[in-house]
Amino acid sequence: MPAATDIMTPLWRGVVVLRIITAVFAVGAIIVHHGGFDRPDLGWAALAAIVIWTVLTCLAYSDDRTRCSHVIVADLLVTLALTACSAFVLSPQQLTEVAQRAPLLPTIWACGPVVAAGVHAGRLAGALFGAITAALEIWLRGAFTTDLACDALLLIGTGFVLGMAATAARQATEQLRRAARVEAATAERERLARSIHDSVVQVLARVRSRGGQLDGEAAELARLAGEQEFALRSLFSAQPPGAAGEQDLADAIQLLASPRVEVSIPATPVLLPASDVDELIAVVREALSNTARHGGPGAKSWVLVEDLDTEVMLTVRDNGPGINTEQLVDAASGGRMGVSRSIRGRVADLGGTVTLDTGPGRGTQWEVRLGRVRQGALR
Amino acid sequence: MIRVMVVDDHPIWRAGVARDLGERGFDVVATAVDGAAALRIIPAARPDVVLMDLHFGSGEPAGLSSPSGAETTGRIIDGWPDTRVLVLSASGAHADVLAAVQAGASGYLVKSASVEELVDAVRRTAEGDAVFTPGLAGLVLGEYRRMARQPRSDVPTLTERETEVLRQVATGRTARQIADALVISHRTVENHVQSALRKLQLHNRVELARYAIEHGLAE
């Protein structure tokens, strides 16, 4: 909230200054024209009312807590009432005869509520208040002349334009605030990541490596510590998706790292459309879970991401027993959704190619290539 | 006896690694909390291998103006060419690891590596081998691919064989397996890896020198 107040404060200060200047003008106009008034006493009373009301509204508009719709509506009513007083104070000539016409009592001071409504509630409120004020003036004058049309247009226009400006300023502030919030969240995340990385993760890693040399329960504890270490590290290395729906494949792949999965990625981001990244991750997961199911207890996997500019290459290899090619064919012909078919299907849908290199005792290696559509080529 | 210096800002790690290495017959001659401390101690300690963490300044109050891990690595290699630097990092900050390797580190090991892997890596580093984990192979390969995308002609490139060997390392094959698969000797595999690394480090030096000359930093 403080940010929005900050941006509106100068606008309200402008409203207050305008109010004071127009009040001075109104007072001067009454002094100049009071000789021709039907009721000079009422004229002086109106002058006093204008001064007092100016002070009150300026005080109200200067404080964030009292700038509310009630005050602004009250401002409009008081201003309209003072305007209406002109019917009793001014002589009929001053009121209606074009040649000898004097200004209505509040003169341009009447624009106060219009300006305030625009700043407070936007262009429609500003224009509406302007229209009401103008309508009363036209009704009092009893005729619609070019001068009155000018006044009306100025009043409505001022309320409208100021309202637009205020709304735009408010929206800009809101956007700024949202950006600041995202930035603060990112910074906090980095701070947390850093502190957890430097404390918890280090200790977990130490427990893992030391306990890994022991037997029995200690080894089990070490394994658990290791899993948590990887989970924490992955959690904090994940980046939010970048601009234009692109995501860093290398970063996403890194989340799959575990004591049994080693990930090799370039130091620079490998950007692909976010949907492609999701699909490739699903492919890698499938290959990894296949290794976990059939690879035996000692099987390890390696994932390599390479960015060849025109295409992205993804290699998933394990040192398991390998898939028997005949088994693969059996699985496919038997109607079961074999891992091979599923992976091939996914990659084909993306428009990429898969090479499978496997055989008994050789481990399994998937090589996925996905051509990159250059952004420039699309435009 | 291989003389080792451990640079790590985290006390648990520093003590733990020093103990692990001491128990296995290494001479841990010094420990340091950050790069500045390491550069101060190194003339007296004269280690054969520096085990270097890349992030300073969080586990324990370290010098505010300490050079980064990569910068420290560069200065150590410049001042003591016989000393080898092995990067040991828990960090997923790949750019930092790459920078340290470009600055002259002979290898990179993740902190989650087992003690056996660590001991083996320190021993091989002392012998002058490059410790190429799959992760490092992926980083180096990625850096060559990145340079190849640039419209410059003076960047180093990998031979087809070197690319092949790096890809095999990056997907977890051992030097022995690669040698068997490509029908070459174990030593040749090692040479391909070393060559890929050296070209990268040389390019880094040329770039640094060029930058210094262009910005009037050189005498």
The answer on B114 and B173 residing in a single domain is no
Q: According to the model, what pLDDT value does residue B179 have? A: 92
The answer on B163 and B78 residing in a single domain is no
Is pLDDT above 80 for B65?
no
Which has more pLDDT, B153 or B92?
Answer: B153
Pairing of strands B27-32, A246-248: unpaired
Q: Is B105 within 8 Å of A274 (Cβ atoms)?
A: no
A209: which chain B residues are within 8 Å (Cβ-Cβ)? 111-115, 118
Considering only the beta carbons, identify the residue of A237, A266, A302 that sits closest to B143: A266
Per the domain annotation, does B108 fall within a domain? yes
The answer on B144 and B126 residing in a single domain is no
Q: Examine the fold and report which residue of B104, B130, B156 is the final residue of a domain before the chain moves on.
A: B130
Per the domain annotation, does B219 fall within a domain? no
CA atoms within a 13 Å half-sphere pointing along the CA-CB vector of A23:
22
Domain containing residue B113: 3-130
Pairing of strands A311-318, A301-307: antiparallel
What is the distance between the alpha carbons of residues A204 and B20, in angstroms, rounded to a whole number? 16
What is the distance between the alpha carbons of residues A302 and B172, in angstroms, rounded to a whole number? 6
Per the domain annotation, does B161 fall within a domain? yes
The answer on B96 and B16 residing in a single domain is yes
The top-scoring range by mean pLDDT among A68-72, A241-245, A337-341, A359-363 is A68-72
Per the domain annotation, does B171 fall within a domain? yes
A205: which chain B residues are within 8 Å (Cβ-Cβ)? 13, 90, 111-112
The answer on B144 and B117 residing in a single domain is no
Is pLDDT above 90 for A345?
no
Considering only the beta carbons, identify the residue of A203, A229, A302 that sits closest to B112: A229
Among chain B residues, the shortest Cα distance to A205 is held by: B112
Q: Examine the fold and report which residue of B130, B153, B178 is the final residue of a domain before the chain moves on.
A: B130
Helix (H, G, I), strand (E, B) or coil at A338: coil
Is pLDDT above 60 for B58?
no
**CB atoms A266 and B145 under 8 Å:** yes
Considering only the beta carbons, identify the residue of A226, A265, A301 that sits closest to B112: A226
The 8-class DSSP code of residue B62 comes to: -
Which residues of chain B from 179 to 218 reach within 8 Å of chain A, CB to CB? none
Q: What ipTM score was computed for the predicted complex, to two decimals? A: 0.85
The answer on B139 and B124 residing in a single domain is no
**What are the tens digits of pLDDT across the range A192-236?**
777 777 678 778 878 887 777 777 888 888 888 888 887 777 776
Q: What percent of chain A has pLDDT over 70?
A: 89
Q: Tell me how far apart the terminal alpha carbons of chain A are, to the nearest angstrom.
A: 41
Q: Reading across the β-sheet that carries B27-32, which strands appear in turn?
A: B27-32, B3-7, B49-52, B84-89, B107-110
The answer on B125 and B26 residing in a single domain is yes
The answer on B196 and B122 residing in a single domain is no
What are the backbone angles phi and psi of residue A142, rounded to the nearest 5°? 75, 5
What is the mean pLDDT of the segment spanning A230-244? 64
Q: Examine the fold and report which residue of B81, B112, B130 is the final residue of a domain before the chain moves on.
A: B130
The answer on B139 and B126 residing in a single domain is no
What is the distance between the alpha carbons of residues B102 and B104, in angstroms, rounded to a whole number? 5
**What are the tens digits of pLDDT across the range B92-146?**
678 888 899 999 998 888 877 788 889 999 999 999 888 888 888 999 999 999 9
Is pLDDT above 90 for A333?
no
The answer on B50 and B144 residing in a single domain is no
CATH number of the domain where residue B83 is located: 3.40.50.2300
Q: Is A85 within 8 Å of A50 (Cβ atoms)?
A: no
Q: According to the model, what pLDDT value does residue A40 have? A: 87
Confidence of residue A336 (pLDDT cuts 50, 70, 90): very low
Which has more pLDDT, B19 or A246?
Answer: B19
| Number of domains into which chain B is organized | 2
The 8-class DSSP code of residue B50 comes to: E
Q: Is B155 on the interface with A (CB under 8 A)?
A: no
**CB atoms A267 and B137 under 8 Å:** no
The answer on B124 and B41 residing in a single domain is yes
Crossing angle for the helix pair A111-121 and A123-141, to the nearest 10 degrees: 160
What is the mean pLDDT of the segment spanning A295-308? 90
Confidence of residue A377 (pLDDT cuts 50, 70, 90): very low
- Using the structure block, give the residue that is written with the tokens 């100049």: A32
The answer on B89 and B178 residing in a single domain is no
Is pLDDT above 50 for A335?
no
Distance from CA of A126 to the nearest CA of B (A): 55
**CB atoms A306 and B142 under 8 Å:** yes
Q: Is A276 within 8 Å of A314 (Cβ atoms)?
A: no
**CB atoms A202 and B143 under 8 Å:** no
Q: What's the burial of B136, exposed, middle or buried (CB within 10 Å: 0-12/13-18/19+)? A: buried
What is the mean pLDDT of the segment spanning A244-266? 84
What's the mean pLDDT when you consider all of chain A? 84
Distance from CA of A240 to the nearest CA of B (A): 16
CATH number of the domain where residue B148 is located: 1.10.10.10
Which has more pLDDT, A150 or B91?
Answer: A150
